[in-house]
Amino acid sequence: MLHSKGAQGVNEGLKAEEWEQFLEFSGTQVAQFPLPPQWQSLAPLARSMLDLAARRQRLREALADTVVRDPESWRGAALEEGAVLDAMVALQEHLDFEVYRLFDLVPKAPSLPDRLAPGHRAFEVQLVRDKKRTAWFTRHGFSEPADTQPGLDELDLPATVRLIEQPVFKRRWLLTDWASVAVEVRTGIVLEALEKVFAGASDGKTLSWRALGHSLPSGVERDADDGPAQWVADEAVPYLAALRYTDTGLAKRAEWEVTWALQRREDAGETVEIAVPPKYDTKDYRDPIYWRLRGKLDVPKERFISYPGAERDDDKSPIYGWAGWDHLQQATALAGLYHERKNEDGWGADETGRARLVPLLAGLLELVPWLKQWHNQPNDDFGGDGPGDWYERYVEGEARAIGRSLDDLRAWRPPSRGRRR
């Protein structure tokens, strides 16, 4: 009926107790599990449990209405949830004993309180009273009950039921870390609000953090330590491969580019043989944040695009774009940023400035294959040309204008620096 998946105790300490095992159940065989006579009588209890579970969920949902203005509003939710959870624990105990009664394991269900804190059920009291060595309480964050509270001894249960009233057969209630939930909810609301700034714009345009920070919801301090500036940075990945990968990662990226080129030829009708490209590892990314957001297959899960090194001379706050842009919108934003720095900020006037323009052009060059694949239909905004063809010529011309070849763009690497703080 079930298969043990092990204790999965890596980085969590040794898990030697039976209740700590993860089990996989066969759905077909579970369907054959016997139901007690008159099992329909349990329906009112099940409906009450659903109502309590819904109340518990609404507390988290309601937190979104208050936590941005008042980061400490979770404390009230925690108190209210404690009362709801105690009612759920007591109701589950009542359900358990009603099932025992329906199976004729006990003559009648014992009288139980309407509220019971997790960790204070009869079997848990018995664990403490019998001085059992167990990680049950510490693993779940339960407070230990006093051994003078009613335990299994006081319920006068038959031996068969006492065999069932053990941790391995009982519900493992999970306590809510409301402080962490509040940070998660608040962070999510703020980041969604900032994403809407980009999503609501008619054209793709990058923004400095100084400008983007003006769109924060009311009550959120822009420059708070470990605040929204850090939240955005933790959800951003650079626009250019050389800024994302280490040398080993760039080597793997080159193999992926060969794969993509072969796939495009296959899409065009050619018969080609495509090898499976390598997966990435943590060492292939320049920052653990990029690994978290991209993973072994380099699948984008970030909210924002960052543009390191493209900050204005008079505004050193980071530059961001939106990860929800398609390739043409990304190219539009990056070309606009390049134009501003070259012509409005004077980067094209001397060699130092032109060197700072190279990675921006390199980023556009990386987008060209995708523009030609997905956005190369004739477009009036590009003089009737396909955007892919137009940007290909644009990058070639701009590279010549700043004294660089396309190979120079591809070979660009960021200067070595210390680990990101």
Q: What is residue 27's predicted lDDT score, i.e. its pLDDT? A: 81
pLDDT the model gives residue 6? 61
Do residues 27 and 38 share a domain?
no
In a domain, 416, yes or no: no
For residue range 135-163, list pLDDT tens digits in order. Answer: 999 999 999 999 999 999 999 899 999 99
Encoded tokens for 106: 């006990």
In a domain, 419, yes or no: no
One domain, residues 4 and 87 = no
73 found inside a domain: yes
The reply to whether 181 falls in a domain is: no
For residues 170 and 228, membership in a common domain is answered with no
Q: Are residues 171 and 158 part of one domain? A: yes
Indicate whether 417 belongs to any domain.
Answer: no
Domain count, the chain: 3
Whether 29 and 46 share a structural domain: no
pLDDT at 11: 46
State residue 421's pLDDT score: 43
Q: Average pLDDT per run of 10 along the chain, which is 421 residues long?
A: 59 69 81 89 96 95 88 93 97 97 94 95 97 94 95 94 95 94 92 94 88 86 78 97 98 98 96 97 98 98 98 95 96 97 96 97 98 97 97 98 97 78 43
Which structural domain range is residue 266 located in? Answer: 187-411
Quote the pLDDT of residue 141: 95
Whether 29 and 39 share a structural domain: no
pTM of the predicted model, to two decimals?
0.81
Task: State whether 396 and 252 are in the same domain.
Answer: yes
Is 329:199 a contact under the CB 8 Å cutoff? no
- CA nearest to 116, candidates 195, 52, 24, 20: 52
User: Tens of pLDDT along 263-289?
Assistant: 999 999 999 999 999 999 999 999 999
Answer yes or no: do 196 and 91 share one domain.
no
Same domain for 191 and 87: no
Q: Which of 176, 211, 227 is the last residue of a domain?
A: 176
- Please check whether residue 56 lies inside any domain of the structure: yes
Domain check: are 363 and 274 in the same one? yes
